[in-house]
Structure 1
Amino acid sequence: MNLRHGWAAGGLVLSCLCWAGNALVARAVADSIPPMALAFWRWSLALAILLPFVGRTLWRQRAVVRAAGWRLWLVAGLGIASYNSLLYHAAHSTSAINITLLNTCLPLATFLGAGLLLGEWPARRAWFGMAVAAGGLLLLIGRGELATFLALDFYRGDLIMLLAVAAWALYSLLMRLWGARLGLAPLPLLGVMILFGLALMLPFYLAELVRVGGFAPTPATLGAIGYTALFASLLAYLTWNHGLKVLGAARASLFSYLMPLFAALLAWLLLDERLAFYHWLGGALIFAGLLLATRPAPSVQRSGE
C-alpha cells in the first residue's frame, strides 16, 4: 500500500472511530434528546463551526453551486439528512445488536453498486477480504455464541435501519461518481451539503418538536451535540469523503466493519466494560479482511479495460 492509499485508509479508520463514539453518545442520550433534534442540532452546530471558513468561498462560487444543482441536493439528502436521522430513529425501535447486524449489509450493497453504477467490480481478493471481515464482525455481534443469533427478534426499526444502510451506500457511490463534477473543494462541499441537508431536515424536526417537544440543555445533551458536530460530522465526513476518492466506494465501505470493534474498545476504556476473547479474535479477522480487500490495484477492475 503506497503512502497515498495509506493516508486514505488511515482517514477511514479515523472516521469509523469517530462514528463508534457517535453510537455510544447517541445511545447514552437516547432518552434525553429526540432523534430528529439530535440530528438537526448536530448539523446546525457543525455548519456554524464551518461557515467562517467556507462562507466567502461559497458566495464566490455560488454559480458552481447552482450548476451542481440537484446532484448536491441528492447527496445532501442521502448522506446528511437521511442516514443519521434514520439511524437515530432505528435506535428507538430496535436493539443495538440488530442495528449492527443489518449494518453488515453495507459493504455488500456498495460492492454491487460499485460494479453496476461505476463499472468498478472488486476483484476476488476483495470479495474474500469482505467475507473474512464480515466473519469477524459476526463473531463480535454474536459474542462468540450461535445462540445469540437464534434468539434474535426483529422489529419495525430493522426496516428503518435497512433504509439507512441503503441511503449511505448510495451516498458513498454518488460521491465517488460525482465528487470531481461538483466542482468544490472538500470543505466548501461539506458546508453546502450540510446547508442543504438542514433545509431538508427542518420540516421533520419541526414536526417532531410539535409532537414530542424538545430537550433540556444539560451538560450531557450539549456535550453530545458538541461531540457529534465536531467529530462525527466534520472530521469523520471529511476523512470519509477523501477515502472514497482515493480507495473507491467498495473498499471504503469495508471500513464500516471497524465501528463495532471500536465501540467495544471505547466501552472498555471509558465504561470499564470487559473485553472477551471473541473481541480480540473478531477484531483480528476484521483487520485481516481489510488488509486483503484494500490493497491497491489490481483489486478494482474497471469495465471496458
Structure 2
Amino acid sequence: MTAPAAPHADETGRAHLAMLGFVFLVSTSFPVGHAITQGLDPAVLTALRFCLAAAIFAGLATAKGLWTRPRPARFPVYAVIAAVLCVFFVTMFEALRLTSALNAGAVFTLLPGFTALAGFALLRQRVSRRQILCLGIGALGALLVLYGADLSRLARFEFGPGETLFFFGVAAYAFYSPLMRLLNAGEPLEVFNFWILVCGAVLLVAYGWREILATDWTAVPAHVFLGIAYLAVFPTASSFYFATYASLRLPSGPMMAYTYLLPSFVLLETMVLGAPWPGAWTVAGVVVTALATLVLQRDVGRGR
C-alpha cells in the first residue's frame, strides 16, 4: 500500500486543532465512565456506545451523500481497528470499577510512548532523541498534575489490578493511530468510522451476548443511559472523527503527545465543578506538559 501524500500546511494546522479537541473530549470520558461503569457490564456498555456512535456517523454519511457499496475485502481492515478499540474501551470500563478516574488518567499518559513504538513498528516513523526527551518530560509533567505536591505518593506509585488491566488496554490503543494511517484507503471519514464502529459492536455482542441476555434493562439507572449517550456523541463519535482526521496528517508519536495535556484538562474540569485552586507543583506540571507538547509539535514542523 502506498504511503499517504504529505498534507497541506492548512490541513496540518487543522489536525493540531483536532487533536486538542480529541484530548478534551477524551478527558471527560474518565469521570463520566467512572460514574456509570457499575450500572452495566463493560462489554455491554461499550457495545451500546458503539451502536449509538455508528448511528451518528450513518446519519452524517447519509446527509452528505457519501454512501458507496462496501467492498468485502475492507471488512477485515475495519475489524482489526475495531478490535483495538474494543480492547481499549472494555479494559477502561473494567479498570474504572477497580480504580479511580485519576489513576486511570495516569496510566493513559503512557499512550504517547507506546504510540511512538507502534508507529515505528508499522510505519517506520522515527522519533528523534529530542522528541524522546520531550516525551519523558511530558510524562513527568502529567504525573505532577495528577499527584500535585504529594511527591511521596508519586514515589510510591504502584499498579493495582485496575491500573494493570488498563495498562494493556492503553498498549492496544497505541496501535489505533498508526493503523488508521496505514489502512485508510481514501474512504470518507464518516463511512470509515461507521464500519469500524459496526464491526466493533458485532465483536462486542459476540463477546458479551450472555451478559446482554442476562441484563435487567428495566433496572438500569437512567443516568447510565444518559452517560452512554454523552459518551457516544462526544468522546466516541466526535473524538473518533478528530483522531481519524489527525492520524492521516500527523506522525503517530508526536500526535499522541497531545495526550499529556489530558491531566490539565481534567484539572480545569474539576475546578469548574468547584474544586479549589491547585498547588504550585500541580501548576508546574501543567506548564511542563504544555511546553513538552509544544516543543514536540515544533520539532515535527521542522522535520526533526
TM range, smaller chain: 0.7 to 0.9
Q: Percent identity?
A: 22
Which letter maps to 1:289? A
Partner of 1:40: 47
Partners of 1:280 and 1:202 in 2: CA distance: 43
1:274 aligns with 2:276: yes
Q: Say which SS state the counterpart of residue 92 (structure 1) adopts.
A: helix
* Consecutive unaligned residues in structure 1, runs of 5 or more: 301-305
The more displaced of 142-151 and 240-249 is 142-151
Contact 1:125–1:299 (8 Å) recurs in 2: no
| Alignment partners' CA distance in 2, 1:299 and 1:216 | 55
- Give matches, 1:96-111, under 5 Å: 96-111=101-116
Query: Is 1:12 aligned to residue 19 of structure 2?
Result: yes
Indicate the RMSD between aligned Cα atoms, in angstroms. Answer: 2.4
Judged with a 3 Å threshold, the aligned counterparts in structure 2 of structure 1 residues 214 and 155 are, in CA distance, closer, same or farther, namely farther
Paired letter, 1:23: F
1:262 aligns with one of 262, 265, 277: 265
Aligned residue pair count: 294
281-290 or 44-53, which deviates more = 44-53
Residue type of the partner of 2:53?
A
2:211 partner letter: E
Q: Which residue of 2 aligns with 1:26?
A: 33
> Is the contact between residue 143 and residue 154 of structure 2 (CA under 8 Å) also seen in structure 1?
no
Deviation (angstroms), 1:139: 0.5
Are 1:163 and 2:165 counterparts?
Answer: no
- 5+ residue gaps, structure 2, are 1-7
Does the Cα contact within 8 Å between 1:34 and 1:215 map onto a contact in 2? no
Secondary structure of residue in 2 paired with 1:196: helix
Partner of 1:303: none
- Alpha-carbon spacing, 1:106–1:268, altered in 2? closer, same or farther (3 Å): same
User: In the aligned structure 1, how far is the partner of 2:156 from the partner of 2:135?
Assistant: 25
Name the counterpart of 1:74: 80
Instruction: Tell me the residue number matched to 1:62.
Output: 70
Contact 1:39 1:84 in 2 (8 A): yes
C-alpha contact (below 8 Å) 1:126/1:299 kept by paired residues: no
1:219 is displaced (CA, Å) by 4.2
Greater alpha carbon shift after TM alignment, 112-121 vs 161-170: 112-121
In the TM superposition, residue 212 of structure 1 has moved relative to its aligned partner by 6.3
* Conserved? CA contact 1:123–1:299, under 8 Å: no
Distance 1:135 1:91 in 2: 23
What corresponds to 1:172 in structure 2? 177
User: 1:111 touches 1:122 (CA, 8 Å); kept in 2?
Assistant: yes
Residue 139, structure 1, aligned to residue 153, structure 2: no
Secondary structure at the residue paired with 2:283?
A: helix
Give the CA deviation at 1:90: 1.2
> Could you tell me how far 1:7 is from its partner in structure 2?
1.4
Which whole-Å CA distance do the structure 2 matches of 1:174 and 1:210 have between them?
A: 33
Distance 1:37 1:67 in 2: 28
Residues 160 and 58 of structure 1, relative CA distance in 2, 3 Å threshold: farther
TM value normalised by structure 1: 0.87
8 A contact 1:132–1:288 mirrored in 2: no
Q: Under a length normalisation based on structure 2, what TM-score does the superposition of the two structures give?
A: 0.88
